[in-house]
Homo-oligomer: A and B are copies of this chain.
Amino acid sequence: MIIAADNLRITLPPIASAVAQSAPAAIRETALRCRDAGARAIDINSGPLGRDPAAGMTFLVRTVQEAVDLPLIRNTTGLAAVAAGLAACKRRAVINGVSLERRRREGFLPLARQYDADIVGYLLGPDGHVPADAAGRMEAAVALFNECERAGIAPERLIIDPVVAPLVWQDGNRQNMAVLEVIRTLPDLLGFPVRSIAGLSNLTTGAPDADTRRRFQCAFLPMLAAAGLDVILMNVLDPSVMQIAEDCGRIAAGTIFTWR
């Protein structure tokens, strides 16, 4: 299981003002802290990038790449920003993400093909809503692979995100058990080693405090690891959750176990 940092968020004031002022220090520091904490990839969650999204994304990607030599995942809805980020990227990029929503499909798939990028595909319906059950998620996955084929993208480029549900949702528990089932069964269903990614922070949206967030993330992360998840997108700067992620890797690795 590859651990990817979700810590570089433009919604955080120090990152937002670093981008606004083209001042690399806070971005570089966050990237270095993530790497030192054990992240093997970094998600650049740029959100809104102000008046010139392409320039903002180029600056973000260049700054992170100068600080750390890690794969980058680009997470934004702005097409111009994604294109600029892909152009600035030294390694194979990951676009986060496509779904069956027409706007996302038609925008991101041609870009993924042009840059031979990996692309994260969310298991959402064409209306952007979470499917009701595991079967609905499987259907969305099959439809996404078909869309990729139609766009000339190899199926191996698509990384499936079954969309972890907030526990506070009325059917959050049931949804998250469906998420585990999809991760576990998708490779058999589609007949090749489908890669999967999941965002852990979403689980604890609305949690009353940091300790509660940590507790439930620590309880759900091993469930994802045992289901065979390939990439976990998480707060790598929480030592408790990182410890569990690394220990899960040791248990579920399929290799000989070591305590450290």
Taken together as a complex, chains A and B put the C-alpha atoms of A222 and B244 apart, in Å, by 11
In the complex, whether A256 has a CB less than 8 A from a CB of chain B is yes
Taken together as a complex, chains A and B put the C-alpha atoms of A180 and B250 apart, in Å, by 16
- The size class of the interface chain A forms with chain B is 35 or more
The SS class assigned to the A binding surface is helix
| Contact A167-B257, Cβ < 8 Å, known A218-B218, A251-B223, A252-B223 | yes
Residues in B whose Cβ lies below 8 Å from that of A172? 257
Cβ-defined partner of A252 (8 Å) among B168, B177, B218: B177
Taken together as a complex, chains A and B put the C-alpha atoms of A256 and B165 apart, in Å, by 13
| Contact A223-B220, Cβ < 8 Å, known A173-B252, A177-B254, A243-B215 | no
Binding site for B on A (CB under 8 A): 167-168, 170, 172-174, 176-177, 180, 207-208, 212, 215-216, 218-223, 225-227, 243-244, 247-248, 250-257, 259
Could you jot down 23 A-B contacts, CB within 8 Å? Answer: A167-B259, A173-B252, A173-B253, A173-B255, A173-B257, A177-B252, A177-B254, A180-B226, A215-B244, A216-B247, A216-B251, A218-B218, A218-B244, A219-B222, A219-B225, A219-B244, A219-B250, A221-B222, A222-B222, A222-B226, A223-B223, A223-B225, A226-B226
